[in-house]
Amino acid sequence: MDFPNTMRLFVSLEPPPEALQPVADAVVELGRVPGVRWSPPSRWHVTLAFLGDLDDDDVRRLAPPLRSAVAAAGPVRLRLAGTGTFGTSVLWAGVAGDVERLSSLAAGVAGAARAAGLGLEERPYRPHVTLARAAGRGGAGALGQLADQLAGVRGPTWTAVEARLVRSHTSDGRYEVLEHLPLLPPA
């Protein structure tokens, strides 16, 4: 695997389009909201760990323990359900289902990163999909109202069978999957 010199990376699960559709439809119905920047559904994901800016050597050290940690976790059944905010800056959709196994997977990914010598921020894992961010005057106040309006939206259950090591290109907002990491079923 060939990696660029320095890159901003995270590990995530990507819900299939049909799992996102009810939430995406509800967001379209809300339309434009002044001061709110919606994230397109093509960028929606469940982050397991934000790894930060890494170089090639970091990624080479990370890859083996990351593959092992993800493979050991096995598939996880999830669905999008509920909404909320992180302060006044982020609107999110919640994740329901086998959240205990999901949290264990996230802890395994974080443990793999630490085993590779990466310093990760210590904070509780809160599974979610970021839907929007406040982006100007009025946006901060609007997010709470949007969370209330979207609170009843639920997506269908889906099974995550792989995690992804993803590079975030901050210059153009593009995501690039560097590696597909299978969540292997128990033997």
**pLDDT tens digits, residue range 169-178?**
888 878 999 9
* 3 Cβ contact partners less than 8 Å away, ≥ 6 residues apart: 56, 59, 60, 178
What would the mean pLDDT of 122-133 be, rounded to a whole number?
93
Residue 143 structure tokens: 């997010």
Highest mean pLDDT among 26-30, 55-59, 132-136: 26-30
**CB neighbours (10 Å) of residue 185?**
8
By residue count, the chain amounts to: 187
How high is the pLDDT of residue 187?
Answer: 62
How high is the pLDDT of residue 3?
Answer: 47
Instruction: Tell me the per-residue pLDDT of 10-22, one tens digit each, with 9 for 90 and over.
Output: 999 999 999 999 9
pLDDT, averaged across the chain: 91
pLDDT surpassing 50 at residue 30 = yes
How high is the pLDDT of residue 123?
Answer: 85
Q: Positive or negative, the Cα torsion across 20, 78, 13, 36?
A: positive
Per cent of the chain over pLDDT 70 is 97
pLDDT surpassing 90 at residue 78 = yes
Which residue type, as a one-letter code, is found at position 6?
A: T
